[in-house]
């Protein structure tokens, strides 16, 4: 079962994502990124974090340790923003913590150029994402980190942020274990992912026993009240049945076709052109503060 700790010191909110997690210190002297039960994404996002993250770790992929964090909003009463304080107030009790990776660097396309990923390593990550229906690891938001970035230890690729995975649990009656999703724009698509080799290696390891052990780590409170299920254990069994059926049907959903770098560049140019359409002339002429000509900027990043 996941270790339980108590948050003792609130350090800072993280505003990079919509859920506004926080960095806290705990009574085990660890530092964690805490995702809150009261966030807009809800408890299902935390359920997905536990199931996919622990499955990744069980399969030998690098994913930070997860813990259950007892959080008292009183430790963050100095937080100046009311909306963040409201989030904390709605999240008193058990929340989810992920071990903080100090100095970790986002795996951006620029970083990727200096950090080659072997095809089998890329294939394992793409395979896990396809199995768990995690379509939120793209070239625009990789949810991958390079760590460590200092000292003599060689840097490694770490997975983070699986709250958007397991999309089927938002509509159980439409869950299809054989459904194929589009992974052409996966963050590692340009690394020639060897998903067939990854499937041969990993699929036999995703057993019902492993899945039951993993879903048992999800707190009852996060599964209670799920429509169509009488008990938390009934929900757990639904996750096991779906994921086990999906791993056995990998031939139907295994992603194998990834665009070449030239195709990705062309797609990106078309996307940027569509973004600029309809923008007023004065906006198209705004100078770039980051070193690119204004005509090449993707202003949607700045304008939401």
Domain residue spans of the chain = 3-99, 105-253
The runs of H, that is alpha helices, within the chain are 43-58, 82-89, 109-114, 119-131, 195-202, 208-215, 232-248, 250-253, 261-276, 281-284, 300-303
Between the CA atoms of 170, 173, 179 and 185, what dihedral angle is there, to the nearest 10 degrees? -20
User: What whole-number distance in Å separates Cα of residue 273 and Cα of residue 250?
Assistant: 36
Q: Is 26 helix (H, G, I), strand (E, B) or coil?
A: strand
What's the Cα-to-Cα distance from 86 to each of 22, 89, 271, 283, rounded to whole Å?
A: 13, 5, 37, 36
Please state the pTM of the whole predicted model.
0.87
User: What whole-number distance in Å separates Cα of residue 88 and Cα of residue 170?
Assistant: 24
User: What whole-number distance in Å separates Cα of residue 74 and Cα of residue 10?
Assistant: 10
The rounded radius of gyration (Å) of the Cα atoms in the chain is: 20
User: What whole-number distance in Å separates Cα of residue 163 and Cα of residue 46?
Assistant: 6
* pLDDT tens for each residue of the chain, 304 residues long: 899 999 999 999 998 767 899 999 999 999 999 999 999 999 999 999 999 999 999 999 999 999 999 999 999 999 999 999 999 999 999 999 999 999 999 999 899 999 999 999 999 999 999 999 999 999 889 999 999 988 888 999 999 999 999 999 999 999 999 999 999 999 999 999 999 999 999 999 999 999 999 999 999 999 999 999 999 999 999 999 999 999 999 999 999 999 877 787 787 788 778 877 765 654 454 443 334 443 333 323 323 3
Between CA 218 and CA 232, with CA 19 as vertex, the angle to 5 degrees is 20
Q: Which helix (H) or strand (E) holds 69?
A: strand 66-71
For residue 214, give both structure tokens: 């993993």
User: What whole-number distance in Å separates Cα of residue 285 and Cα of residue 72?
Assistant: 49
């Amino acid at each position: 079962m996941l270790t339980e700790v108590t948050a003792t010191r609130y350090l800072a909110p993280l505003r990079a994502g919509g859920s506004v997690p926080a960095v806290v210190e705990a009574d085990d002297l660890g530092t964690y990124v805490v995702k809150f039960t009261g966030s807009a994404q809800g408890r299902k996002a935390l359920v997905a974090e536990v199931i996919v993250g622990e499955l990744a770790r069980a399969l030998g992929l690098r994913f930070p340790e997860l813990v259950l964090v007892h959080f008292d909003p009183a430790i963050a009463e100095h937080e100046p923003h009311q909306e963040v304080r409201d989030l904390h107030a709605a999240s008193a009790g058990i929340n989810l913590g992920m071990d903080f990776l100090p100095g970790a660097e986002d795996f951006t396309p620029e970083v990727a150029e200096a950090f080659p990923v072997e095809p089998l390593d890329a294939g394992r990550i793409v395979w896990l994402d396809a199995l768990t229906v995690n379509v939120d690891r793209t070239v625009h938001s990789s949810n991958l980190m390079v760590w460590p970035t200092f000292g003599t230890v060689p840097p490694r690729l770490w997975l983070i942020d699986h709250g958007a995975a397991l999309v089927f649990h938002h509509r159980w009656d439409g869950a299809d274990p054989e459904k194929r999703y589009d992974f052409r724009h996966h963050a590692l698509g340009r690394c020639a992912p060897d998903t067939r080799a990854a499937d041969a290696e990993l699929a036999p390891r995703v057993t019902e026993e492993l899945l039951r052990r993993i879903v048992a780590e999800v707190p009852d409170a996060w599964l209670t009240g799920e429509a169509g299920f009488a008990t938390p254990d009934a929900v757990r069994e639904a996750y096991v049945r779906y994921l086990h059926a999906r791993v056995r049907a990998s031939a139907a959903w295994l992603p194998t076709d990834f665009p070449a770098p030239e195709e990705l560049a062309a797609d990106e140019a078309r996307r940027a052109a569509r973004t600029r359409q309809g923008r007023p002339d004065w906006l198209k002429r705004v100078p770039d503060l980051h070193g690119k000509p204004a005509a090449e900027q993707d202003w949607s990043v700045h304008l939401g």
